[in-house]
Amino acid sequence: MSGKKVHFTYPGKTIDVTWDSRLCIHVAECGRAAGELFVDGRDPWCQPDVTKVAQVREIVERCPSGALSYVDKTGGPVEMPAVDNTVVVACNGPLFFRGNLHIEGLVKRSPGVRFRAALCRCGASKNKPFCDNSHEAVGFKDYGAVGETGSPQVAGDGELRIMPTHNGPLVCKGHLRIYTAAGRAAWFGSTVALCRCGASKNKPFCDGSHVAAGFRSD
């Protein structure tokens, strides 16, 4: 995407909203929000001044990919991590992380990915480790069930380090809850390797299938 603009800032009198097109997977949490902060087909599509500052912050923080972020020029609250570090295993889709996230080894990204990120688990994304909706084109199928329970400890706060290993899984270190696509809190623990090649027989966990599948992380 060299030379192509990827960051777009929509200034308001009291709050600015920024959109990182590299991270957006068009879940439409913003576009379907009540009100006129985001209106498809309008130029510009985001107009912060038509919505109260608190509502702007709340809608932006709904974005599950971290593509949206804001700067509150009133000196109001800044975005804070969710109380728990969590990941939702989406049906036929990515891993949706929320919490105090540190995704290791990345160039500077949108500030939103410190709190919210959609990471690829089909193996086909051209923007690894982030999802780019390639799971739809390749017909990735996994309904987001989780069979293991992990340790009995309840996940808590603190930083979650997410390490996309070379040609291998996402290694997560730090308290974490894994939720099924149906919303069940299924796994609790502090260290886990999650599949991102799409081939594991024990999804969402890595079982070493990336080796036989010839998965490439670059």
What pLDDT score was predicted for residue 38?
Answer: 98
Q: Which residues constitute the domain of residue 128?
A: 86-213
What pLDDT score was predicted for residue 64?
Answer: 98
Number of domains in the chain: 2
Do residues 190 and 153 touch, judged by C-beta distance below 8 A? Answer: yes
Distance separating alpha carbons of residues 50 and 163, to the nearest angstrom: 40
Query: Are both 64 and 28 inside the same structural domain?
Result: yes
* Residue after which a domain boundary falls, among 72, 104, 123: 72
User: Is 92 a domain residue?
Assistant: yes
Distance separating alpha carbons of residues 155 and 177, to the nearest angstrom: 6
Mean pLDDT in consecutive groups of 10 residues from the start of the chain, 218 residues: 79 97 96 96 96 96 97 92 96 98 79 96 97 98 96 74 97 96 96 97 98 96
What pLDDT score was predicted for residue 137?
Answer: 98
Q: How deeply is 108 buried, as exposed, middle or buried, from its count of CB atoms within 10 A (0-12, 13-18, 19+)? A: exposed
Distance separating alpha carbons of residues 170 and 172, to the nearest angstrom: 6
Residues 6 or more apart whose Cβ sits within 8 Å of residue 34: none
* Residue after which a domain boundary falls, among 72, 94, 109: 72
What pLDDT score was predicted for residue 106?
Answer: 72
Query: Are both 20 and 103 inside the same structural domain?
Result: no
What pLDDT score was predicted for residue 193?
Answer: 98
Query: Are both 65 and 95 inside the same structural domain?
Result: no
pTM: 0.95
Closest to 99 measured CA to CA, from 160, 24, 43, 150: 160
What pLDDT score was predicted for residue 131?
Answer: 98
Query: Are both 111 and 196 inside the same structural domain?
Result: yes
What pLDDT score was predicted for residue 1?
Answer: 41
User: Is 108 a domain residue?
Assistant: yes
